Amino acid sequence: MTRSSQFCFFIFCFLLLACQTRGGKDAAFISNLVEQPLGDTHFSISLPENYRIMEAPGPDFTVFYFRIKDTLTQPEFAGGLYFGNYPQGFEAKNGCKQEELTAEFLQKPEKWMQQSCNGKFYIQTTANNSNSEGWDEKVQAFGSAKDQKALGNLLSIFATLKPKK
């Protein structure tokens, strides 16, 4: 193989890999997500088959948590969604790196706050609910991930949140 054909082969492989991961997203992970309704809200979200949704209603809000079904297995990530009018964010922790990132949420790019602490990641964002019924003007997403790959998968899950048809 000549140098130019080796170079072309390398570029081809690089582009093929880049297309499969879609900017850090794991295409295989995304393709295996299963759409699930979120209680009485007008939304659905897609989760891995081995995850479940738990609803925790409050007096004027509802929180949906998603966690791995098998409680004996250490999850790579966990998260939740708050529907209400008064979301509360997490405070910056001492010794943690805090930065802003942009990722899809409610079918558009949103700014997320990310904290990195001892190799773990914590994220949150809040957006206006265009399908509000009055009690749920805000939607807040929050979660934790054990590493960078799990963080990408968690953000991919939040990107699937959409109004029900």
pLDDT at 94: 82
Q: How far apart are the first and last CA of the chain?
A: 54
DSSP string, 55-122: EEE-SS-EEEEEEES-TTSPPSEEEEEEEES---PPPPPTT-EEEEEEEEETTEEEEEEEEEETTEEE
Question: How would you write the pLDDT of the chain (165 residues) with one tens digit per residue?
Answer: 565 555 444 444 444 444 333 335 688 899 999 999 999 888 999 999 999 999 999 999 999 999 999 988 889 999 999 999 999 988 877 889 999 999 999 999 999 999 999 999 999 999 999 888 888 999 999 999 999 999 999 999 999 999 987
pLDDT at 158: 97
pLDDT at 152: 96
pLDDT at 44: 96
Residue 35 CA to residue 55 CA, distance in Å, equals: 16
pLDDT at 17: 41
pLDDT at 1: 57
**Range 34-163 classified under CATH 2.60.120.1690:** yes
pLDDT at 67: 92
pLDDT at 12: 44
Domain boundaries, the chain: 1-31, 34-163
Residue type, 51: Y
Q: What is the dihedral of CA 149, 75, 56, 156, to 10 degrees?
A: 20
Residue 131 CA to residue 112 CA, distance in Å, equals: 21
pTM of the model as a whole: 0.82
User: Taking CA 32 as the corner, what is the angle to CA 47 and CA 39, rounded to the nearest 5 degrees?
Assistant: 25
